[in-house]
């Protein structure tokens, strides 16, 4: 199965370049210019601070939304593709929201939360508690990302940490099974066949891997994993980004 002035110019006063009758006129003009410049600087500073605070608040809210959706999805054991399908969105949309690339519209967020068994009130409440990261992930803690009746099992090793940078899957392919046709998602993936054989089809190229063979692929390229044998195939794989 991988992308941060004040203007600091010194303007010579017109009073200094003009022919004047007294030094008092020059002093008055300079005084007025200095006062106006100071007033302008204060106004610019105020505007910049306000805009900066608003921007920081917006970024914080966006990050909370993406983080919470990701945690709710994983708690349900849903892949991004499954959440996208159930909420009527695209896999790319879910990925962008979870990675804080875009902020969802209210109706979009409602649709996502309905699928995840939540609502806007709960989602934005102060009672939201972030799950504590685990060190040990037992077999019962693994998250199955495929449908229960699927012949391909993709179990994600998930410890509830939102700062993780690497995703890890334990994959099982029943005899003569395959993943969805031409999967594509941002990032890269590295895996090793620990039992059986697997065919990886990347666009127009086909690769056969035996037990012990490893692969490294750019997952933005459409790809399919196929077990062509009458035996079970098992793979362990790591991928970035952590979303799937």
pLDDT in tens, 53-106: 444 445 555 557 988 898 888 888 788 888 998 999 988 899 889 888 888 999
Between residues 159 and 14, which one has the greater pLDDT?
159
Burial class of 49 by CB neighbour count within 10 A (0 to 12, 13 to 18, 19+): exposed
> Which of 49-58, 74-83, 113-122, 157-166 shows the lowest mean pLDDT across its residues?
49-58
The pLDDT score that the predictor gives to residue 143 is 86
The pLDDT score that the predictor gives to residue 61 is 55
SS3 63: helix
Is a pLDDT exceeding 60 seen at residue 237? yes
Position 127 confidence tier, pLDDT thresholds 50, 70, 90: low
The pLDDT of 214-242, averaged and rounded, is: 94
Residue among 70, 76, 131 nearest 95 (CA)? 70
Burial class of 229 by CB neighbour count within 10 A (0 to 12, 13 to 18, 19+): middle
Is a pLDDT exceeding 70 seen at residue 4? no
Distance CA 173, CA 171 (A): 7
The pLDDT score that the predictor gives to residue 235 is 98
The pLDDT score that the predictor gives to residue 182 is 81
Burial class of 23 by CB neighbour count within 10 A (0 to 12, 13 to 18, 19+): exposed
- Beta bridge partner(s), residue 171: 154, 235
Distance CA 61, CA 238 (A): 30
Q: Which of 32-41, 94-103, 156-165 has the highest average model confidence (pLDDT)? A: 94-103
The pLDDT of 106-114, averaged and rounded, is: 94
Percent of the chain with pLDDT over 90: 39
Between residues 126 and 52, which one has the greater pLDDT?
126
């Amino acid at each position: 199965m991988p992308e941060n002035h004040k203007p600091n110019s010194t303007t010579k006063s017109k009073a200094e370049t003009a022919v004047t009758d007294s030094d008092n006129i020059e002093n008055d003009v300079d005084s007025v210019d200095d006062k106006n410049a100071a007033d302008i600087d204060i106004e610019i500073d105020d505007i910049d601070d306000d805009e900066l605070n608003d921007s920081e608040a917006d970024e914080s809210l966006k990050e909370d939304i993406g983080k919470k959706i990701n945690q709710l999805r994983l708690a349900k054991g849903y892949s991004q593709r499954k959440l996208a399908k159930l909420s009527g969105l695209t896999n790319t949309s879910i990925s962008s929201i979870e990675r804080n690339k875009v902020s969802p519209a209210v109706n979009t967020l409602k649709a996502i939360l309905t699928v995840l068994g939540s609502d806007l009130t709960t989602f934005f409440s102060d009672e939201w508690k972030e799950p504590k990261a685990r060190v040990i992930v037992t077999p019962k803690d693994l998250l199955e990302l495929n449908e229960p009746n699927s012949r391909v099992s993709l179990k994600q090793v998930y410890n509830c940490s939102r700062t993780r940078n690497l995703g890890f899957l334990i994959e099982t392919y029943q005899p003569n099974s395959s993943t969805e046709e031409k999967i594509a998602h941002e990032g890269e993936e590295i895996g090793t066949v620990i039992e059986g054989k697997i065919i990886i089809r990347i666009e127009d190229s086909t690769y056969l891997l035996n037990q012990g063979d490893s692969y490294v692929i750019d997952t933005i390229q459409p790809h399919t994993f196929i077990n062509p044998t009458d035996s079970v195939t098992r793979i362990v794989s790591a991928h970035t980004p952590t979303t799937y």
